[in-house]
Amino acid sequence: MKILLVDDAQSVAMVLTSRLRSFGHHVLVAENGAVAVDSFREFAPDLVLMDIQMPVMDGFKATDLIRKFEASQEWAWTPIIFLTGSDTTDNLVTAIEAGGDDLIAKNAPEPVLRAKMKAMARVAGLRQKLATANANLLEQANRDGLTGLLNRRHMDERTDAAWAHACQVQGSFAVLMIDIDNFKRYNDHYGHQMGDECLRSVATAIDNAARHSGLSRAFAARYGGEEFAIILPNVKRGDFELLAMAVVTTVRNCAVPHEKNADWGIVTTSVGGAFMPHANGLLGALFRSADQNLYLAKNNGRNRAQTSILEAGSTAP
C-alpha cells in the first residue's frame, strides 16, 4: 500500500515508518495536517495514518479537508486511521465522527499494527478493483455496442463542452457528417448481419482516418443508424477539407463489396462538412450546414465530400 503517515513527532514517525516499510508498504511522511492535505492530492495514498494534535493544522481539520477534496472527485473514500496515545472507546467515537475510519495507538504492539495493515490492504485491493471496474463501465457506457465508436450521447456531451470552449477562445470548429451510400440496398441484398459487419468496417475506416489526420482533438462517433460524425475542435481549414476527402477515400479503399451501389460495386460514403474559423453562436447551425452539404453530396452523385465555410454571425438564432 501507499501509506501517508502524518505526525509531527519525528521519533514516532521514524519508528512507524520503519515498521510499515518492513511490512512492505511504501510510506510518505507529512509533518502536519496542512502538508498532509497537499501530499494527499499528489501521492493519492491507499491509507492515511493521521496524528491528531499537530502544529499548523490538526488531524481533524486535515481529515475534514481531505474528505471535502474527495467529495469533488468522481469516486473516492480513502481510509483514514487516527494515531492516538490510547485506543479508548471515547477516542474511537470521536475519530469516526471526525471522518476517520478507525484509530490505532501509536505504541500498539507490532502484531496489532501488522494485522490492521493487512485488513487495510484488503480494502485497498477492493477499492482498486472497484475503480478499475468503474472505469471500464464508464468506458463501455460511452461506446456504441455495434461499432465500438463513441456513442451519440457521449459525442453530444463532448461536442457541447468542446464547442463552449471554442466559443470562449474564439477557436475554429468543424463537423463532418458521414453517411453510407445506398445502405438500405446493402441490407436488402446481403442481409442485416452482413449489414452490421459493414457498419463495423466503415466505422473502423472512419476512426482510422480521424486518427491518422494528426489532429489530436478530433474524435469520431456513431451518430445514428448508418451515419457517423467526426468533430474537429481547433482545426485548420485545410486540414478539415483534407480529412473530409480522406474519409471518402479510406472507406472506398476498404473495397467492401456492394453490388447494388451504383457503378462502384463497393461500399462508399458521402460526407458533408462545415467549418467555422471562429466558433460563435449556435452549434446546431454548424450541424445543419454539414447536413445540407451531405444532402448536396448525395444529390451530386454520392461517393464524395462537400464542405463549406460558415462565417461568424451566420449562426445567429
User: Which amino acid appears at position 120 of this protein?
Assistant: M
Per-residue mark of binding to Mg ion, 204-233 (x: CB under 5 A): ----------------------xx------
CB atoms within 10 A of CB 109: 9
- Least separation in angstroms between CB 39 and Mg ion: 54
Size (the chain), residues: 317
Contacting ligand GH3 (CB under 6 A), which of 38, 160, 196, 259? Answer: 196
CB of 155 to ligand GH3, least distance (A): 16
Tell me which of 50, 62, 103, 199 binds ligand GH3, using CB under 6 A.
Answer: 199
Least distance to ligand GH3 from the beta carbon of 302, Å? 6
Strands 80-84 and 47-51: parallel
Q: Rule CB under 6 A: which of 32-71 touch ligand GH3?
A: none
Binding mask 250-289 for ligand GH3 (x = CB under 6 A): ----------------------------------------
We find the least distance from the C-beta atom of residue 149 to ligand GH3, in angstroms, to be 12
Measured from the CB atom, is 62 or 271 closer to ligand GH3? 271
Binding mask 129-148 for ligand GH3 (x = CB under 6 A): -----------------x--
Out of 7, 8, 179, 239, which residue is the one contacting Mg ion (CB under 5 A)?
A: 179
Give the span between the Cα atoms of 61 and 244, in whole angstroms: 56
Q: What angle do CA 300, 302, 303 make, to 5 degrees?
A: 130
Q: Which is nearer to ligand GH3, 20 or 202 (CB)?
A: 202
CA 161, 164, 168, 174 torsion-angle sign: positive
The piece of 12-20, 124-132, 193-201, 306-314 that touches ligand GH3 (CB under 6 A) is: 193-201
Any idea which residue has 454520392 for its cell? 302
- 48 three-class SS: strand
Number of C-beta neighbours around residue 310 at 10 A: 22
For 160: left if phi > 0, alpha if psi spans -120 to 50, otherwise beta; the answer is alpha
Distance (Å, whole) CA 86 – CA 112: 13
Which of Mg ion, ligand GH3, none does 184 bind, CB closer than 5 to 8 A by kind?
Answer: ligand GH3
Cβ neighbors of 45 (< 8 A, separation 6 or more) are 1, 2, 3, 4, 28, 78
CB nearer to ligand GH3: give 67 or 185.
185
104 DSSP 8-state letter: E
At residue 181's C-alpha, the angle toward residues 180 and 183, to 5°, is 75
Kindly state whether residue 212 participates in binding ligand GH3, applying the rule CB under 6 A.
no
Give the residue with the Cβ less far from Mg ion, 61 or 298: 298
Q: Which helix (H) or strand (E) holds 307?
A: strand 305-309
Residues near ligand GH3 (CB under 6 A) are: 146, 179-185, 187, 192, 195-196, 199, 225-226, 298, 302
